[in-house]
A = this chain, B = another copy of it.
Amino acid sequence: MPDLDSVVREISEEMAARADRGAVADYIPELAHVDPGRFGLAVIDADGRLSAGGDSETLFSIQSISKVFTLTLALGMVGDRLWKRVGREPSGNPFNSIVQLERERGVPRNPFINAGAIAVTDVILSGHEPREALGEILRFMQFLAQDQTITIDATVAASEKRTGFRNTALANYMRSFGVIENPVDYTLGVYFHHCAIAMTCRQLAAAGRFLAHNGRNPSTGHSVVSPERARRINAIMLTCGHYDGSGEFAYRVGLPGKSGVGGGILAVAPGRASIAVWSPGLDEAGNSHLGRIALERLTQRMGWSVFGA
């Protein structure tokens, strides 16, 4: 097997040099200012060893990657009852589509499209003040990454709140079917804020380690979820983690992964490593263009695809 440090370094150098970088998301004004030239990669193996390259220590907005952690948290709170409020099938539609909601009476297809993540946030919020629910999500991220410095970028949250008309539409639409139970403003407030958590590639890779190792962080020994639940979250990441580009990601990369419009991707190589990559330019389906290419290189060279050595 090739040396992981060398592979990470070579990929980081190749990506830094590429001219094709996709387009930075502009639907959240605050994100549109990010330099498209950035690229970071961090890989933490089963022994806890970090291999990192590029801008792996730069903070970026994790956006929809937070959906993996809110799903984990909500499953811990209500267990399989969660699946009455959200499905777990690929949607076959873009990340912010409302068409499927009308056809299926307000129940979102899966927890990784916007509507589904808003429904999951509503479950976490139930019976709490928005501030408390948000605190719980943030502390969970800090605990997973073993890093108390992780915070929310309030400017990004405010920017999305000002312009998030489509998410407001989705939330009100689900509320009309009773799938959202709390005041829409509360649920969206928590949603916009957990999407605005800022992390580095290194922190994100650390936070995802429990998914790579049967629900348990092998360095701290903390058991986050059962092995079965870890496998199941990985399954949803693989089938639904990249919106209407999930099939393409599985085909090219072959790992469970979740992308965000901030340009980050968290990927999981079961038994082997937790991986975070970041490059702000997006492809047409809203996933990081260079992030996906970097992960394709990495799994090919390391033989990490779940679909064959």
B-binding residues in A (CB < 8 A)? 87-93, 97-103, 109-110, 165-166, 168-173, 175-176, 184, 212-215, 227-228, 230-232, 234-236, 238-240, 244-248, 250-251, 254, 256, 270-271, 300, 305-309
Cβ contacts under 8 Å, A92 to chain B: 89-93, 100, 109
A308 interface neighbour in B97, B101, B214, Cβ under 8 Å: B214
Number of copies of chain A assembled together: 4
A89: which B residues are within 8 A, CB to CB? Answer: 90, 92, 244-248
- CB nearest neighbor in B for A94: B102
Residues of chain B contacted by A215 (CB below 8 angstroms): 308
Cβ B166 vs Cβ A305 within 8 A: no
Other contacts beyond A98-B102, A306-B306: 20, CB < 8 A: A88-B251, A89-B244, A89-B248, A90-B247, A92-B109, A99-B103, A110-B247, A165-B173, A165-B175, A168-B169, A168-B172, A168-B184, A169-B171, A169-B172, A169-B173, A231-B308, A232-B307, A234-B307, A236-B247, A306-B307
Q: Are A254 and B235 in contact (CB under 8 A)?
A: yes
The CA of A248 and the CA of B235, in the complex, are separated in Å by 9
A213 neighbours in B (Cβ, 8 Å): 308
Ordered by A's residue number, 15 sampled pairs between the chains whose C-beta atoms are within 8 Å are A88-B251, A89-B90, A90-B246, A91-B92, A92-B100, A110-B247, A230-B308, A231-B308, A232-B307, A236-B247, A236-B251, A238-B239, A239-B250, A271-B308, A306-B306
